[in-house]
Amino acid sequence: MVIDGHPLPLEPRLGHLLKQAQAKLARASAEALAAHGVDGHDLAVLGVLCAGSGEELSQVEVAGRLGIDRTTMVALIDGLEDQGLVRRRRSPRDRRKNIVEPTPEGRDCLHRAERARRAAEHRFLAPLDTETASALVRALTLLAGETPATAE
């Protein structure tokens, strides 16, 4: 990183670049989402709840789809429920499960906040031309994926 005019101390490190780029986008997204009263995790949960084919999702199922822990999900749903964006109800078929459903307000919030997030992402990508931006997404998708287990 260049600090007050010092030259780059090392050849650019991919790890640093990824970290800085991620942090910068995260800041921009957080700023864009703040106006809608949600953060990235909230938005992801709402997205999962509203994306599906109307199937009922429990807390662990939402957590599983987002790759976060079920213990983390509790506070997340608490916050969304306090804001009236989702509702919990016991599943009649398996009384251990909390079915989590978006409210109309939740669906509305999702649409507005998701638009804001996309706009922030678009602004973030503005330094790149369209082809470079999609090449970036393609490359990151390849790199972020699970490494296939090698036969050893």
Interaction site with DNA (CB under 7 A): 41, 58-60, 63, 68-74, 77-78, 88, 94-98
For the packed helices 59-66 and 70-82, what is the interaxial angle rounded to 10 degrees?
110
Residues at the site binding its own copies, with contacts judged by CB under 8 A: 1, 3-4, 6, 9-10, 12-22, 24-26, 29, 40, 44, 47-48, 51, 64-67, 121, 124-125, 127-128, 132-133, 135-137, 139-145, 147
Distance of closest approach, residue 102 Cβ to its own copies, in angstroms: 14
Q: Which is nearer to its own copies, 17 or 35 (CB)?
A: 17
Q: Which is nearer to DNA, 68 or 133 (CB)?
A: 68
Confirm if 106 and 80 have CB atoms less than 8 A apart.
yes
Q: Which is nearer to its own copies, 144 or 149 (CB)?
A: 144
Q: Which is nearer to DNA, 65 or 88 (CB)?
A: 88
Distance of closest approach, residue 82 Cβ to its own copies, in angstroms: 23
